[in-house]
Amino acid sequence: MRTVLCLFIAVMFFFSALGQESAEEYYVLRKEQITIRGRTNINKFECRLDLAGYVMDTLQIELTRVNGDFNFSGLTLNIPVRAFNCRYRLMTQEFRDLLRAGEFPFLNLNITHVDHEVPNKMHMHASLAVAEKRKEELIQDCYVENLGEELLLGGNHTIYLRSYDLEPPRKFFGAVVVKNELDISFEVILTKKIKNEPH
């Protein structure tokens, strides 16, 4: 009886594995859109990533697709701090100074693991480096859209300046104080490539 039960379990496991479609697909990074929103005790501010004039990191990205779900584990973004524009020159410079752009010119985001809740919705475990500190972040509000030859990956997340050893600045003798949290919205467009195709 035990032998029959073991055989049954093995057969079920085999057919379950057959039912999981797994395929490797190759993409290159085509576009990044990132908006960082913050607040002071008297107003709000917004800084947008403007990559005009910057060379895009077009290293080929290998994604694994299982049962229609894309695994973005291993996707790394190097985001130039000086590419952020906060609309006003003084505010832009203060934002870059806050993130210590002179010493650390890039924010680095590395997606280490992805959990799918339902199709097109996921949680991402990411490693984020801001200035000299790297920290693990769980990005819970993420989505992916399959646009034929392109993938749109986006989401929203909040980080806290002090957790990266950055002290929210005070201006005008302490009358204006930047809040500790920054809200980040991002969208990344990846374009499908044929394996070994030059790019």
Q: Which two tokens stand for residue 28?
A: 């290159």
Contact between residue 150 and residue 175 where contact means Cβ atoms under 8 Å apart: no
Q: What is the pLDDT of residue 57?
A: 59
Cα angle 9, 12, 16 (rounded to 5 degrees) comes to 135
The answer to whether the beta carbons of residues 30 and 61 sit under 8 Å apart is: no
Q: 196, 192, 165, 199: which is closest to 180 by C-alpha?
A: 165
H-type alpha helices, the chain: 2-18, 89-98
Residue 170 and residue 128: Cα distance in Å, rounded? 25
Domain around 25: 21-193
Is residue 58 in some structural domain? yes
Q: What is the CATH number of the domain that holds 102?
A: 2.40.128.110
Phi first, then psi: give them for residue 16, nearest 5 degrees: -65, -40
Within a domain: 15: no
Residue 62 identity: E
Structurally, the chain folds into a number of domains equal to 1
Q: CA–CA separation, 189 vs 27, rounded Å?
A: 10
Say if residue 58's pLDDT is above 60. Answer: no
Flag whether 6 is in a domain.
no
| pLDDT score for 61 | 76
Per-residue 3-state assignment (H helix, E strand, C coil) for 36-94: EEEEECCCEEEEEECCCCCCCCCCEEEEEEECCEEECCCCEEEEEHHHEECCCHHHHHH
Q: Look at residue 72 and tell me if it is in a domain.
A: yes
Q: Is residue 5 part of a domain?
A: no
Answer whether residue 154 is part of any domain.
yes
Q: What is the mean pLDDT of residues 67-90?
A: 85
* pTM greater than the 0.75 cutoff: yes
- pLDDT at position 198, please? 53
Mean pLDDT of 99-107: 94
- Classify residue 13: in a domain, yes or no: no
Q: Which DSSP state fits 143? A: E
Mean pLDDT of the chain: 80
